C-alpha cells in the first residue's frame, strides 16, 4: 500500500485537529531538523519543550488518511492509523532531547521496525488434556428425604456446639471492666465504637464484649479502624486479625499492626476481602 502524500505533509496539514492548541508541534520536531537554528527558532523550540503535548487518537487520524488515500483499502488504512497513533502517543511522552535523539537515529529506527515486522508469527499454544484412563461413571445417592423447616432447624440445633466467645476471641471485657482495669471511660469507649475504632462483639441480645488484645496503653491499636472498615463486619474482622496470614509471613495481622505495619496489613485486608 502507498500513500499519495508523505505522512509528514499530512500531519502538517491536519495538525490543528489533534494537537489541542499546540498546532504543528510534532511536525516541527520531525520535519524542521534541517532548518537553520535561528534565535527565533531556538526561543520557539524552548517554549514548545515546556508545553504538555497531546497525541492524536486513531479516530482523529482515520479521516485524514482516508482523505489523502481515497483508493486505499479501509482495513489497511485502519491498521496504519493505529500504528501512527501508537507511535505519536509514545513520542509525545518523551522529552524533547529524547525525541531529537530518535530523529538523529531514524535510519536505525526504521531498521528496528523492519526487523520486528519480519519476525515470524508464533502460533498460539494449544493445551491438550490426555486422559490417563477411561472416565469413571458414578451416581450419588441423591438428595434424600426433604425435611420441613422446623425439622431442619431442630437438626441444626442438635449439631451445633455452644461455644463461649472467649474460646475463639481471646480475653474479652465489658465497659465496666475496661474502665476499671484499663482506664477507658465509658463515654470514650462509646465514641470509639461509634467511629469503628474498636471491635465490640455482640454477646446475647444487646451487650457487647471487647477483646482486650486490641488495646495498647489504653487505646485501640493504630490501623484497627481501617481494617474493620475494609472487612465490614466486626466479628469477621477480629477472626481475621488473630489468624496467622501467609501474606504477612505467617504472622497474625493484629501482631503486625502492633509492630507498626499498618499500611501492609490494610493492603492485605483489601486483597483478602476484595469483592466481599
Residue 135 placed within a domain:
no
Indicate the helix (H) or strand (E) that contains 154: helix 149-159
Residue 134 placed within a domain:
no
| Last residue in a domain, options 84, 118, 152 | 118
Residue 123 placed within a domain:
no
Residues 114 and 167 in one domain: no
Round the CA-based radius of gyration of the chain to a whole number and report it. 34
End-to-end CA distance of the chain: 53
Residues 99 and 198 in one domain: no
Digit-by-digit pLDDT tens for the chain (276 residues) are 544 444 444 444 333 333 333 333 333 333 333 444 444 454 454 444 445 666 666 677 777 877 888 888 877 878 887 888 787 888 788 888 888 888 888 788 788 788 887 888 777 778 888 888 888 888 877 777 888 999 988 888 888 777 888 889 999 999 999 999 989 999 999 999 999 999 999 988 889 999 999 999 999 999 999 999 999 999 999 999 999 999 999 999 999 999 999 999 999 999 999 866
- Interval 101-144: pLDDT, tens: 888 887 887 887 888 878 887 777 788 888 888 888 888 777 77
Residue 71 placed within a domain:
yes
Residue 131 placed within a domain:
no
Indicate which CATH number applies to the domain containing 186: 1.10.1660
3-state secondary structure of 150: helix
pLDDT at 269: 95
Residue 63 placed within a domain:
yes
pLDDT at 88: 80
Other C-beta atoms lying within 10 Å of the C-beta of residue 216: 12
Residues 170 and 266 in one domain: yes
pLDDT at 210: 96
Phi, psi of 111 (to 5 degrees): -65, -40
Residues 108 and 171 in one domain: no
pLDDT at 248: 95
Residues 169 and 98 in one domain: no
pLDDT at 56: 66
Residue 246 placed within a domain:
yes
Residues 35 and 106 in one domain: yes
Residue 25 placed within a domain:
yes
- In angstroms, the CA 238 to CA 213 distance is 10
Q: At what angle do helices 96-104 and 106-118 cross, to 10 degrees?
A: 80
| pTM to 2 decimal places | 0.44
| Last residue in a domain, options 91, 118, 145 | 118
**Of 275, 276, 252, residue with least CA distance to 265:** 252
Residues 168 and 114 in one domain: no
- In angstroms, the CA 1 to CA 202 distance is 74
Residues 180 and 86 in one domain: no
Residues 111 and 12 in one domain: yes
Query: What per-residue string of b and e applies to 160-185 under the rule 16 or more CB within 10 Å gives b?
Result: eeeeeeeeebeebbebeebbeeeebe
pLDDT at 199: 96
Give how many domains the chain has, as a whole number.
Answer: 2
Residues 110 and 177 in one domain: no
| Last residue in a domain, options 90, 118, 146 | 118
**Which residues constitute the domain of residue 47?**
7-118
Residues 168 and 104 in one domain: no
pLDDT at 6: 43
Amino acid at each position: 500500500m502507498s500513500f499519495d502524500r508523505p505522512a509528514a505533509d499530512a500531519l502538517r496539514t491536519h495538525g490543528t485537529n489533534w494537537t489541542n492548541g499546540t498546532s504543528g508541534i510534532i511536525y516541527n520536531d520531525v520535519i524542521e531538523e534541517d532548518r537553520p537554528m535561528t534565535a527565533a527558532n531556538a526561543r520557539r523550540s524552548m517554549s514548545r519543550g515546556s508545553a504538555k503535548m497531546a497525541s492524536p487518537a486513531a479516530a482523529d487520524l482515520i479521516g485524514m488518511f482516508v482523505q489523502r488515500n481515497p483508493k486505499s483499502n479501509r482495513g489497511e488504512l485502519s491498521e496504519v492509523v493505529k500504528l501512527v497513533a501508537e507511535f505519536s502517543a509514545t513520542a509525545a511522552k518523551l522529552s524533547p532531547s529524547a525525541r531529537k535523539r530518535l530523529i538523529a537515529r531514524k535510519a536505525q529506527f526504521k531498521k528496528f521496525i523492519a526487523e520486528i515486522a519480519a519476525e515470524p508469527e508464533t502460533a498460539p499454544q494449544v493445551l491438550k488434556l490426555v486422559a490417563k484412563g477411561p472416565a469413571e461413571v458414578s451416581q450419588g445417592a441423591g438428595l434424600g428425604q426433604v425435611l420441613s423447616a422446623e425439622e431442619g432447624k431442630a437438626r441444626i440445633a442438635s449439631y451445633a456446639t455452644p461455644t463461649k466467645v472467649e474460646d475463639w476471641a481471646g480475653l474479652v471485657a465489658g465497659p465496666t471492666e475496661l474502665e476499671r482495669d484499663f482506664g477507658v471511660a465509658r463515654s470514650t469507649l462509646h465514641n470509639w465504637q461509634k467511629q469503628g475504632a474498636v471491635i465490640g462483639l455482640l454477646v446475647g441480645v444487646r451487650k457487647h464484649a471487647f477483646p482486650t488484645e486490641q488495646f495498647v496503653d489504653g487505646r485501640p491499636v493504630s490501623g484497627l479502624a481501617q481494617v474493620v472498615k475494609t472487612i465490614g463486619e466486626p466479628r469477621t474482622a477480629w477472626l481475621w486479625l488473630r489468624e496467622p496470614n501467609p501474606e504477612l509471613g505467617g504472622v497474625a495481622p493484629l501482631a503486625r499492626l502492633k509492630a507498626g505495619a499498618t499500611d501492609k496489613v490494610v493492603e492485605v485486608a483489601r486483597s483478602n476481602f476484595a469483592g466481599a
